[in-house]
């Protein structure tokens, strides 16, 4: 009899994780590898992603790792990423579109170049990688896990470009999930809230050491908590979860009764 917990496993699968040099992407790659998946980790700088692959290879994690330099806005580089994955591991089962970028600015201060850059990385990168991986994802029934943001669900002051791009990723998730369902591919999305990544540390001075992991009523999460959601969405346990965006943002903001 099959152990029901096996449905929560990604063992034996090959996963590509973009933006995997640090933070959420790195945590996803390391958790997938620990579970027995082979992972291809990529970022724009080879020297930033090599240590991630080396750390996985040198650990007692069951999965293997391959580091590939790839700018997700460069379609040729993305095609080469997919080719390298298939050549190394024989296929591609899970695509995690995590690569992203942003900067804070008033809407009127965002230049055309700045606006386009953020859309190209967050939305265009998701488009490039998913389309390039299509053939292999449909060969055996794969899974796409997009990483959006609560900024794409409810807006984000001083990050209008980022919020708009992530809103588009949320919409793309549900639309593509419908189109590819008949091909056996599940497409889902995660919308993290504030997560203690190096990016948050540099912008707001909050690190993972500041997060109380014992408290449910928290406002900031850690990368491993997003990796847990990604692994679930990529596993057979999420077989009936299609086209959904899972918000992982801690305790919600709610309308409270006014003080009288």
Residue 198, pLDDT score: 73
Residue 32, pLDDT score: 98
Residue 256, pLDDT score: 80
The pLDDT profile of the chain, 260 residues, written as one tens digit per residue, is: 456 779 999 999 999 999 999 999 999 999 999 999 999 999 999 999 999 999 999 999 999 999 999 999 999 999 999 999 999 999 999 999 999 999 999 999 999 999 999 999 999 999 999 999 999 999 989 999 999 999 999 989 999 999 999 999 999 999 999 999 999 999 999 999 999 887 765 666 666 667 777 777 788 899 999 999 999 999 999 999 999 999 999 988 888 888 76
Burial of 198 (0-12, 13-18, 19+ CB in 10 A): middle
Q: Which residue has the tokens 């959601």?
A: 229
Contacts of 103 (CB under 8 A, 6+ apart): 114, 118
Question: Phi first, then psi: what are they for 249, rounded to 5°?
Answer: -140, 20
Burial of 60 (0-12, 13-18, 19+ CB in 10 A): exposed
Name the helix (H) or strand (E) containing 109.
none
Residue 1, pLDDT score: 42
- Which domains are present in the chain? 11-248 (3.40.50.720)
Any idea what DSSP says for residue 259?
P
Cβ 31 vs Cβ 231: under 8 Å = yes
Coil/strand/helix, residue 69: strand
Indicate yes or no: pTM above 0.85: yes
Residue 136, pLDDT score: 98
| Whether residue 162 lies in the annotated active site | yes
Residue 202, pLDDT score: 62
């Amino acid at each position: 009899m099959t152990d029901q917990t096996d449905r929560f496993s990604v063992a034996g699968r090959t996963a590509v994780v973009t933006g995997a040099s640090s933070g959420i992407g790195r945590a996803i790659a390391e958790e997938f590898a620990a579970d027995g998946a082979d992972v291809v980790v990529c970022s724009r700088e080879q020297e930033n992603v090599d240590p991630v692959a080396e750390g996985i290879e040198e650990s007692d994690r069951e999965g293997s790792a391959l580091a590939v330099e790839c700018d997700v806005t460069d379609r040729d580089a993305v095609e080469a990423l997919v080719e390298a994955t298939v050549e190394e591991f024989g296929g591609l089962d899970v695509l995690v579109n995590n690569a992203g970028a942003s900067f804070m600015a008033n809407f009127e201060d965002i230049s055309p170049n700045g606006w386009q850059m953020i859309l190209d990385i967050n939305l265009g990168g998701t488009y490039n990688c998913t389309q390039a991986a299509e053939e292999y994802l449909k060969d055996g029934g794969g899974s796409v896990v997009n990483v959006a943001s609560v900024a794409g669900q409810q807006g984000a002051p001083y990050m209008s470009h980022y919020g708009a791009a992530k809103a588009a990723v949320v919409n793309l998730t549900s639309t593509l999930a419908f189109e590819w369902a008949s091909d056996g591919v599940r497409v889902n999305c995660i919308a993290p809230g504030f997560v203690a990544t190096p990016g948050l540390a540099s912008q707001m001075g909050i690190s993972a050491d500041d997060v109380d992991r014992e408290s449910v009523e928290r406002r900031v999460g850690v990368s491993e908590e997003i990796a847990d959601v990604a692994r679930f969405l990529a596993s057979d346990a999420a077989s009936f979860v299609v086209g959904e965006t899972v918000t992982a943002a801690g305790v919600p903001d709610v309308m409270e009764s006014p003080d009288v």
